[in-house]
Amino acid sequence: MIAMGSDHGGYRLKEAVKLHLEKKGIDCKDFGAYGEESCDYPLMAQAPCKAVVAGECELALLFCGTGIGISMAANKHKGIRAAVCSDIFSARMARLHNNANVLCMGGRVVGEGLALDIVDAFLNSSFEGGRHARRVGQVDALDA
Protein backbone atom coordinates (compact mmCIF):
# COMPACT_ATOMS: atom_id res chain seq x y z
CA MET A 1 0.00 0.00 0.00
CA ILE A 2 1.26 3.45 -0.93
CA ALA A 3 0.38 6.44 1.25
CA MET A 4 -0.34 9.71 -0.54
CA GLY A 5 -0.70 13.27 0.64
CA SER A 6 -0.58 16.80 -0.69
CA ASP A 7 -1.36 20.39 0.03
CA HIS A 8 -3.37 22.52 -2.39
CA GLY A 9 -0.31 23.19 -4.60
CA GLY A 10 0.26 19.49 -5.18
CA TYR A 11 -3.36 18.37 -5.29
CA ARG A 12 -3.72 18.03 -9.07
CA LEU A 13 -0.47 16.12 -9.44
CA LYS A 14 -1.40 13.81 -6.55
CA GLU A 15 -4.70 13.05 -8.26
CA ALA A 16 -2.96 12.26 -11.58
CA VAL A 17 -0.47 9.97 -9.85
CA LYS A 18 -3.22 8.27 -7.86
CA LEU A 19 -5.16 7.50 -11.06
CA HIS A 20 -1.96 6.19 -12.68
CA LEU A 21 -1.30 3.84 -9.76
CA GLU A 22 -4.91 2.66 -9.61
CA LYS A 23 -4.74 1.75 -13.32
CA LYS A 24 -1.65 -0.34 -12.52
CA GLY A 25 -3.48 -2.11 -9.68
CA ILE A 26 -1.37 -0.49 -6.96
CA ASP A 27 -3.30 0.15 -3.74
CA CYS A 28 -3.11 3.71 -2.43
CA LYS A 29 -4.33 5.36 0.73
CA ASP A 30 -5.09 9.04 0.11
CA PHE A 31 -4.68 11.21 3.20
CA GLY A 32 -5.70 14.42 1.40
CA ALA A 33 -5.87 17.17 0.39
CA TYR A 34 -9.19 16.47 -1.26
CA GLY A 35 -9.41 19.72 -3.21
CA GLU A 36 -7.55 22.89 -4.05
CA GLU A 37 -8.57 24.85 -0.97
CA SER A 38 -5.55 26.27 0.83
CA CYS A 39 -4.08 23.93 3.43
CA ASP A 40 -0.76 23.58 5.23
CA TYR A 41 1.85 21.14 3.91
CA PRO A 42 3.33 20.35 7.36
CA LEU A 43 -0.04 19.02 8.47
CA MET A 44 -0.61 17.15 5.22
CA ALA A 45 2.70 15.28 5.59
CA GLN A 46 1.86 13.91 9.05
CA ALA A 47 -0.62 11.10 8.37
CA PRO A 48 1.19 9.57 5.37
CA CYS A 49 4.51 9.61 7.25
CA LYS A 50 2.94 8.06 10.33
CA ALA A 51 1.46 5.32 8.13
CA VAL A 52 4.91 4.51 6.72
CA VAL A 53 6.62 4.54 10.12
CA ALA A 54 3.87 2.31 11.59
CA GLY A 55 4.23 -0.16 8.71
CA GLU A 56 0.67 0.40 7.48
CA CYS A 57 2.06 1.61 4.14
CA GLU A 58 5.31 0.61 2.46
CA LEU A 59 6.11 4.01 0.93
CA ALA A 60 4.60 7.48 0.62
CA LEU A 61 4.23 9.95 -2.21
CA LEU A 62 3.87 13.57 -1.12
CA PHE A 63 3.16 16.67 -3.19
CA CYS A 64 3.18 20.42 -2.64
CA GLY A 65 3.93 23.35 -4.92
CA THR A 66 7.67 22.66 -5.15
CA GLY A 67 8.05 19.40 -3.20
CA ILE A 68 10.50 21.16 -0.90
CA GLY A 69 8.24 22.21 1.96
CA ILE A 70 6.46 18.90 2.28
CA SER A 71 9.80 17.05 2.15
CA MET A 72 11.15 19.20 4.99
CA ALA A 73 8.05 18.40 7.04
CA ALA A 74 8.27 14.69 6.19
CA ASN A 75 11.91 14.46 7.22
CA LYS A 76 11.02 15.71 10.71
CA HIS A 77 9.38 12.30 11.34
CA LYS A 78 11.72 9.73 12.86
CA GLY A 79 12.23 6.89 10.40
CA ILE A 80 11.35 8.89 7.32
CA ARG A 81 13.85 9.43 4.54
CA ALA A 82 12.10 11.76 2.09
CA ALA A 83 13.64 12.85 -1.20
CA VAL A 84 12.50 15.64 -3.50
CA CYS A 85 12.90 14.44 -7.06
CA SER A 86 12.29 16.21 -10.35
CA ASP A 87 14.00 13.64 -12.57
CA ILE A 88 13.94 9.88 -13.06
CA PHE A 89 17.60 9.24 -12.19
CA SER A 90 17.32 10.95 -8.79
CA ALA A 91 14.15 9.01 -7.95
CA ARG A 92 15.82 5.70 -8.77
CA MET A 93 18.98 6.56 -6.84
CA ALA A 94 16.97 7.80 -3.84
CA ARG A 95 15.69 4.23 -3.46
CA LEU A 96 18.82 2.32 -4.55
CA HIS A 97 21.42 4.21 -2.50
CA ASN A 98 19.51 6.21 0.11
CA ASN A 99 16.66 3.83 0.92
CA ALA A 100 14.20 6.72 0.62
CA ASN A 101 10.75 5.74 1.79
CA VAL A 102 9.02 8.96 0.73
CA LEU A 103 9.08 10.61 -2.68
CA CYS A 104 8.18 14.31 -2.82
CA MET A 105 7.38 16.28 -5.96
CA GLY A 106 6.21 19.75 -6.83
CA GLY A 107 2.95 20.22 -8.67
CA ARG A 108 4.23 23.55 -9.96
CA VAL A 109 7.61 22.11 -10.97
CA VAL A 110 7.09 18.68 -12.56
CA GLY A 111 4.73 18.02 -15.45
CA GLU A 112 2.31 15.14 -15.24
CA GLY A 113 4.00 12.87 -17.80
CA LEU A 114 7.41 13.20 -16.19
CA ALA A 115 5.89 12.81 -12.73
CA LEU A 116 4.39 9.43 -13.67
CA ASP A 117 7.78 8.24 -14.93
CA ILE A 118 9.46 9.49 -11.73
CA VAL A 119 6.92 7.64 -9.59
CA ASP A 120 7.41 4.44 -11.60
CA ALA A 121 11.19 4.68 -11.23
CA PHE A 122 10.85 5.22 -7.47
CA LEU A 123 8.38 2.38 -6.94
CA ASN A 124 10.23 -0.07 -9.20
CA SER A 125 13.56 0.36 -7.41
CA SER A 126 14.64 -1.07 -4.09
CA PHE A 127 17.50 -0.49 -1.69
CA GLU A 128 20.79 -2.11 -2.74
CA GLY A 129 22.16 -2.27 0.80
CA GLY A 130 25.85 -3.13 0.88
CA ARG A 131 28.10 -0.11 1.30
CA HIS A 132 25.03 2.14 1.26
CA ALA A 133 23.58 0.53 4.40
CA ARG A 134 26.30 2.05 6.56
CA ARG A 135 25.53 5.53 5.30
CA VAL A 136 21.78 5.14 5.64
CA GLY A 137 22.40 3.91 9.18
CA GLN A 138 24.41 7.06 9.87
CA VAL A 139 21.54 9.19 8.57
CA ASP A 140 19.03 7.29 10.70
CA ALA A 141 21.27 7.73 13.76
CA LEU A 142 20.79 11.48 13.43
CA ASP A 143 17.21 10.91 14.68
CA ALA A 144 18.55 9.84 18.09
- Which residues are designated catalytic? 64, 97
DSSP string, 54-99: TTSSSEEEEEESSSHHHHHHHTTSTT--EEE-SSHHHHHHHHHTT-
Cβ-Cβ contacts under 8 Å for 2 (sequence gap 6 or more): 21, 26, 27, 28, 29, 57, 58, 59, 60, 61, 123
Task: Give the rounded distance of the alpha carbon of 14 from its chain centre.
Answer: 10
Cβ-Cβ contacts under 8 Å for 144 (sequence gap 6 or more): none
Length of the chain: 144
Q: 143: exposed, middle or buried (C-beta count within 10 Å: 0-12, 13-18, 19+)?
A: exposed
